[in-house]
């Protein structure tokens, strides 16, 4: 049966581990596996802007022996003129996978329902699961393990990144702490999924308003923009709401001395993170960005060979 990757828990914890192990191997030997030899094409559809996702998927598909086909949805029939279902029925005749960055999670769900090839969520309003594979790969590289470590996500708890952090880290057996204002809560389905995984692995899931509680002793400190794509009109209100949630070097002092700082990027220095943190000694953000490539190649290999 065709496998899709629409949210972090569309794979099992064991499969997550397998994909990360494969990513480590593929990073060491980038051109050894060619599941897209032909070349077979992969559709990369963008309803939102992107630098890392566009480049890492394009390069990754080429590295796997395939042909990346970038579709800016505004220049296609998808959306106003043609339904998601009909688009899936056409694309799956010609491409080996569909990667879609869009708004509603229901969009990728509908594409997957009608596609006979794997559909990959490359960011929706609700989840950014490809980013989490890269982030977990980075944590493993820097700190040597995942299970038992504590991650503190500081900022917009209702964002795609916060939801994905909760689920993916709990799956990896990590303790996850989310520091966010009460009005910016994660999706209940993400929180309940994270709690189920945490119960099985005896790890902790904490949601708090208190940044200091979340950051004290953390091994990994993460933040993301306070204004996600599509929320630009809320900028003024959000900047006011997230006052006090900037990751500063003073707050980093609360974390473990060997803690790493992650940010999916793009970053807004002076808002969610200060420059001396993201450009400082704890930061692993450039490795994190590069790891999008390796993690997604491993993901595509897994999905293409599991079907």
In the set 4, 101, 294, 301, the catalytic residue is 101
The answer to whether 160 contacts ligand NVA (rule: CB under 6 A) is yes
Residues that bind ligand CP (CB under 6 A): 50-53, 123, 131, 264-265
Rounded Cα gap, residues 307 and 291, in angstroms: 24
In the complex with ligand NVA, which residue's Cβ is closer, 161 or 211?
A: 161
In b/e form, how buried is each residue of 226-252, taking b as 16+ CB within 10 angstroms? Answer: bbbeebeeeeeebeebbeebbbeeebb
Rounded Cα gap, residues 4 and 307, in angstroms: 9
In the complex, the smallest distance separating the C-beta of residue 224 from ligand NVA, rounded to whole angstroms, is: 5
The answer to whether 222 contacts ligand NVA (rule: CB under 6 A) is no
Q: How many residues bind ligand NVA (CB under 6 A)?
A: 9
Rounded Cα gap, residues 55 and 161, in angstroms: 20
**Per-residue CA distances from 1 to 116, 190, 303, 306 (Å):** 9, 25, 10, 8
Report which of 130, 113, 111 is spatially closest to residue 57, judged by C-alpha positions. Answer: 130
Binding to ligand NVA (CB under 6 A) within 246-305 occurs at: 264
131 is catalytic: yes
The answer to whether 159 contacts ligand NVA (rule: CB under 6 A) is yes
The answer to whether 17 contacts ligand NVA (rule: CB under 6 A) is no
In the complex with ligand CP, which residue's Cβ is closer, 87 or 159?
A: 159
Backbone angles phi, psi at 223, to 5 degrees: -145, 180
Question: Binding partner of residue 51 among ligand CP, ligand NVA, none, CB under 5 to 8 Å per kind?
Answer: ligand CP
Question: Binding partner of residue 159 among ligand NVA, ligand CP, none, CB under 5 to 8 Å per kind?
Answer: ligand NVA
What radius of gyration do the chain's Cα atoms show?
19
169 is catalytic: no
Q: Which residues pair with 261 in a beta bridge?
A: 221, 283
In the set 92, 126, 135, 224, the catalytic residue is 224
In the set 8, 16, 125, 264, the catalytic residue is 264
The answer to whether 224 contacts ligand NVA (rule: CB under 6 A) is yes
Return left, alpha or beta for 230; rule: phi > 0 is left, psi -120 to 50 is alpha, else beta.
Answer: left
Task: Report whether 93 contacts 115 (CB < 8 A).
Answer: no
In the set 7, 131, 169, 294, the catalytic residue is 131
In the set 4, 52, 54, 128, the catalytic residue is 128
The answer to whether 44 contacts ligand NVA (rule: CB under 6 A) is no
Residues with catalytic function: 101, 128, 131, 224, 264, 292
């Amino acid at each position: 049966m065709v496998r899709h990757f629409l949210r972090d828990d569309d794979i099992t914890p064991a499969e997550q581990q397998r994909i990360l192990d494969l990513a480590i191997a593929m990073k060491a030997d980038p051109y050894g596996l060619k599941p897209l030899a032909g070349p077979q094409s992969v559709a990369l559809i963008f309803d939102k802007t992107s630098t890392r996702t566009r480049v890492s998927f394009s390069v990754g598909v080429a590295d796997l022996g395939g042909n990346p086909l970038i579709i800016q949805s505004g220049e296609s029939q998808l959306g106003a003129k043609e339904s998601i279902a009909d688009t899936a029925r056409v694309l799956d005749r010609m491409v080996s996978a569909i990667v879609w960055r869009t708004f509603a999670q229901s969009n990728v769900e509908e594409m997957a329902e009608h596609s006979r090839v794997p559909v990959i969520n490359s960011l929706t309003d609700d989840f950014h699961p490809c980013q989490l594979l890269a982030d977990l790969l980075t944590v493993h590289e820097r700190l040597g393990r995942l299970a038992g470590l504590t991650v503190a996500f500081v900022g917009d708890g209702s964002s795609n990144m916060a939801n994905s952090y909760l689920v993916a880290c709990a799956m990896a057996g990590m303790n996850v702490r989310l520091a966010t204002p009460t009005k910016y809560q994660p999706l209940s389905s993400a929180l309940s999924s994270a709690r189920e995984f945490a119960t099985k692995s005896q790890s902790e899931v904490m949601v708090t308003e208190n940044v200091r509680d979340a950051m004290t002793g953390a091994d990994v400190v993460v933040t993301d923009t306070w204004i996600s794509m599509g929320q630009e009109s809320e900028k003024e209100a959000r900047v006011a709401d997230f006052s006090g949630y900037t990751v500063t070097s003073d707050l980093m002092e609360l974390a473990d001395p060997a803690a790493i700082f992650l940010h999916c990027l793009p970053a807004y220095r002076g808002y969610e993170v200060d420059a001396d943190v993201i450009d400082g000694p704890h930061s692993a953000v450039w490795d994190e960005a590069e790891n999008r490539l390796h993690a997604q190649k491993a993901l595509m290999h897994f999905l293409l060979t599991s079907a």
